[in-house]
């Protein structure tokens, strides 16, 4: 007898396809310092060619009597950071602000950092999916240099000082407030509309 496939309404039983997006749709911002709450957010995009997130786990290992002698690992902490690199764009406010920190120490190396994840719809418009923000420390700053016939390089590592706050699409009011400070740049660059969430649940156009 041939196998019979029984239809199901359970989404966990189906091959649900997600939305694969290009990395440039993610927008990164350098923001306010601990001392100056009035500082504007600066879009970190010009000259940037690569952003690599890293999550370093702190782990504890222990062998328990009910584990058959095997060690069990428990993650006790996570350090989240971003390696950012590209070409040095002199005059770009975000890059200049980071470059100015290279001789500084302590709290003078700290800034707010934000990642806004945008999804592109079938009509080309952009919809915010998640916003991640937190105070971070900027280290290992590379402000230019390299071969004579190459562009000056730019590198920095941003490490969160604590677990960042995440606003998801299910919180339209929170998203709307955050996006007032960091409006969609790709909507301007690509000449498309940004679908802004509103508290009524109906997307609005930016």
Give 140-174 pLDDT, tens digit per residue. 999 988 888 889 999 999 999 999 999 999 999 99
Give 118-149 pLDDT, tens digit per residue. 999 999 999 999 999 999 999 999 998 888 88
Give 18-60 pLDDT, tens digit per residue. 888 999 999 999 997 766 666 689 999 999 999 999 999 999 9
Measured distance CA(48)–CA(87) in Å, rounded: 6
CA atoms within 13 A on the CB side of 59: 9
Whether the CB-CB separation of 178 and 131 falls below 8 Å is answered with yes
CA dihedral 39, 142, 114, 48 (to 10 degrees): 110
| Nearest C-alpha neighbor of 82 from the set 10, 29, 7 | 29
Task: Tell me the DSSP string of 13-52.
Answer: GS--------GGGSEEEE---SS-TTPPPEE--TTEEEEE
Measured distance CA(123)–CA(117) in Å, rounded: 18
Mean pLDDT of the chain: 90
What's the pLDDT at 33? 73
Measured distance CA(13)–CA(148) in Å, rounded: 57
The Cα-based distances of 107 to 34, 111, 112 in angstroms read: 8, 9, 12
């Amino acid at each position: 007898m041939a196998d019979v496939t029984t239809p199901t309404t359970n989404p966990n039983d189906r091959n649900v396809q997600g939305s694969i997006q290009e990395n440039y749709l993610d927008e990164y911002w350098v923001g306010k310092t601990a001392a100056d709450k009035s500082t504007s957010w600066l879009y970190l995009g010009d000259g940037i060619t690569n952003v690599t997130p890293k999550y370093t786990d702190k782990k504890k290992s222990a062998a328990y009597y009910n584990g058959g002698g095997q060690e069990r690992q428990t993650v006790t902490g996570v350090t989240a950071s971003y390696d950012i690199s590209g070409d040095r764009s002199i005059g770009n406010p975000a890059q200049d602000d980071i470059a100015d920190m290279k001789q500084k120490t302590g709290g003078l190396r700290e800034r707010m950092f934000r990642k806004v994840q945008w999804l592109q719809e079938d009509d080309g418009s952009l919809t915010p999916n998640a916003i991640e923000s937190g105070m971070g420390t900027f280290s290992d700053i590379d402000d230019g240099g390299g071969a004579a016939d190459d562009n000056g390089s730019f590198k920095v590592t941003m490490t969160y000082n604590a677990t960042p706050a995440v606003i998801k699409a299910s919180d339209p009011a929170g998203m709307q407030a955050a996006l007032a400070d960091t409006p969609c740049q790709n909507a301007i660059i690509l000449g498309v509309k940004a679908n802004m969430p509103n508290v009524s649940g109906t997307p609005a156009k930016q």
